[in-house]
Homo-oligomer: A and B are copies of this chain.
């Protein structure tokens, strides 16, 4: 573990480097991870910057960051190509020289040797480290990182590849930040605690209304709401070092209980849990098998349930019945039922759920049919009309009507979430009987 002297930092800024990142369009998992890891050390990410692969722009971003953050975590730009210029930018920004460092070269050579290669000229650039910086080992890939104290900030440079960045944070950076905290002689900072609640079935404004007055005036906790097609996420976050760890814990416990009771009917998961994990766990606990019949969701529900490792214990099969003929042949939905009520109807969704349950010979059948759009809607059956069915063989099938808004993707997402939520509620009802 590398050692770095100095006072212990408070605020962090992340700088992600890469022209492709400026364009966006993809999920940024690095931010989530970094916010979590730093939060546990009591360090709050206050700013997040993204710059392209231009040395001058990276230099400018570093100069901005050192003015407002004490921990700067840079990700990306450490590869072997000419585009990768984070090393050069940090050296230039802090007025250091770049030199080939023995321990960086050794790590690089060892890693490549494991892959049966020897470093070429381009790869040797990866061993260039700014003078005065500490080399950070990369236990996964070839590019070493480094840590440089400059002005009042710790500048930490890591690869952008999530798996490499995450391992280096865990094995190198976190111990280094802890050591810096201890050697500074300051009392350890209170970890930033963040609790997350996932709701489905309420609009953001309604969640907001239900949570009015939740946080007592002056309490060191922030309340956050974030709406998506999968529901509204509620977060409680303690604010930095304003209170002791014990006081924070008590307050958070009280607030969390309050959130649970105010949102009980709509709360389906907490923390990193997902709907499919919650449903899967409950199916496994009750020893039940499910089978699914999907029309407008096209396989999304099966995909989601099988995202969970071990799902073969409770998912037997799924039928994606896109055509009417498939509904009849795969599920035994009577053709005249479809003619009479239409494929998108309460009658057909109930028949689908019964059909898949009986054919799979499982405890419960779940079904969805609807109009995802943009075409196919009529005045009486508009785009967004979705039926969800559940059959458990008790002769009391459930068939619910929903009217969702949004584009095709959103309607599919909401439909899959509503279907899994219906299954979840049925499982809870069954357990409480």
Contacts and interface: CB of A to CB of B under 8 A. Distances in A.
Interface residues of A, number: 77
A301 interface: yes
Contacts of A64: 64
A400 interface: no
Contacts of A294: 299, 302
Interface stretch (A26-34, A86-94, A96-104, A420-428): A26-34
Interface in A310-362: 310-312, 315-323, 325-326, 329-330, 359-360
A67 B3 CA distance: 36
Given A25-B27, A31-B25, A360 B299 contact: no
Interface in A46-91: 46-52, 54, 57, 60-61, 64, 68, 81
A54 to B, nearest CB: 8
A224 interface: yes
A379 interface: no
Given A25-B32, A375-B309, A318 B320 contact: yes
A45 interface: yes
Nearest to A29: B25
Contacts of A299: 294, 298-303, 306, 318, 320
Contact of A19 (B31, B224, B233): B224
A292 interface: yes
Contact of A29 (B19, B24, B300, B322): B24
A433 B208 CA distance: 61
Given A316-B326, A317-B322, A320-B318, A22 B46 contact: yes
Contacts of A359: 329
**Is the contact region of chain A dominated by helix, strand, or loop, or is it mixed?**
mixed
Given A316-B325, A322-B317, A306 B298 contact: yes
Given A25-B27, A47-B49, A315 B322 contact: yes
A49 to B, nearest CB: 5
Contacts of A321: 317
A409 interface: yes
Contacts of A48: 21-22, 24, 49-51
Contacts of A222: 19
A257 interface: no
A186 interface: no
A305 interface: yes
Nearest to A292: B320
A25 B32 CA distance: 5
Nearest to A54: B46
A374 to B, nearest CB: 6
B320 A302 contact: yes
Of A28, A297, A373, chain B has the most CB atoms within 10 Å of the CB of A28
17 contacts: A19-B237, A20-B224, A24-B48, A25-B32, A27-B28, A28-B28, A297-B303, A298-B315, A299-B300, A303-B303, A306-B372, A307-B408, A307-B412, A309-B375, A311-B322, A317-B326, A319-B319
Interface of A: 19-32, 35, 45-52, 54, 57, 60-61, 64, 68, 81, 208, 222, 224, 226, 228, 233, 235, 237, 292, 294, 296-303, 305-307, 309-312, 315-323, 325-326, 329-330, 359-360, 372-375, 408-409, 412
Given A19-B222, A307-B408, A311-B322, 8 more contacts: A25-B32, A47-B50, A298-B305, A299-B306, A299-B318, A306-B322, A319-B320, A320-B320
